[in-house]
Amino acid sequence: MTMSQNMLPFEPKEALRFGRFSLMRLKMRLLRATQGRSFRQADGLIFLTRYAQDVVSAALGGLRAQKALISHGVEPRFFCKPRSLRALAECSPEAPFRVLYVSIMMPYKHQIEAVRAVGRLRGQGVPIELSLVGALWGQYGAAVKAECERLDPQHTFLHVLGALPFADLHRRYGEADAFLFPSSCENLPNILLEAMAAGLPIASARSGPMPEVLGDSGVYFDPTSDAEMAAAVLTLAEDVDLRQTLAANAYERAQAYSWARCAEQTFAFIAQVANEAAR
């Protein structure tokens, strides 16, 4: 039995974001070989999304294993019914429209584009701020901080909070007005699920499995374009009725992602594969 949890080894264009001759790209090529061998030899193989199953299966040229599509769940503490939302007219530089992005800072996560998108909006007079939560990875993390310093040397609207305790993370979701998710490579975007469960309106990259998970409950953009990202965030900020609808729909979609269901389906699949292997 094995499970597919990492798409970077199977999406070469995404691994290339680390640099053509980078150690990370080499690592992903090695992982593709080793994981591919495990997947080909497995009796049972669990995928977290339909997108991951299609991409990995195509990359490896077919797999003999029995396959199951079993998504992960969301911890109950993240669930919060959508609350009454502020109109943009109620926001000000002193009480800005608060956008949150939670993720490790790596090239395929596109924090630099997110920072530039919010910088664009501030330049247009929109009272908005962005908080980035997540560990700073290598040179890319340093580049994110440098871009924040360039655009906001006074630290008034761009906040790099770094890694925070996972046990406290749900409180950060509860403080936000909207969630931004510009990652371009995911297997199952757990952070996106958390934001959905938190009842937040979401602007998301249209890459990978994000449309499969979020459906029509978000505003989409090209994560490599800070202009398109800015436009998506502005759409959310300016239309409070749209935000309310999207937040409610995302919250309802998140109900399907249960750890109890995940455990039940996983053990049932293991039993099914074991029984067939014993025949």
User: What residues contact residue 262 under an 8 Å CB cut-off, 6+ apart?
Assistant: 70, 71, 72, 73
Q: Angle of helix 240-254 relative to helix 190-197, nearest 10 degrees?
A: 110
pLDDT number for residue 279: 76
Closest Cα to residue 130, out of 120, 115, 141? 115
Residue 15 binned pLDDT confidence (cut-offs 50, 70, 90): very high
Q: For residue range 112-137, list pLDDT tens digits in order.
A: 999 999 999 999 999 999 999 999 99
Q: For residue range 58-102, list pLDDT tens digits in order.
A: 999 879 999 999 999 999 999 999 988 999 999 999 999 999 999
Q: How many CA atoms lie within 13 A of 224 on its CB side?
A: 7
Stated as kind and residue range, the H or E segment containing 198 is none
The mean pLDDT value of the chain amounts to 96
* The two three-digit tokens of residue 151, written as one number: 């655009």
pLDDT number for residue 278: 81
Domains of the chain: 2-73+258-277 (no CATH), 76-254 (3.40.50.2000)
Q: Could you give the residue ranges of the DSSP H alpha helices within 168-258?
A: 169-175, 190-197, 210-214, 226-238, 240-254
Amino acid at 186: E
Residue 240 has pLDDT above 80, yes or no: yes
**Single pTM value for the model:** 0.95
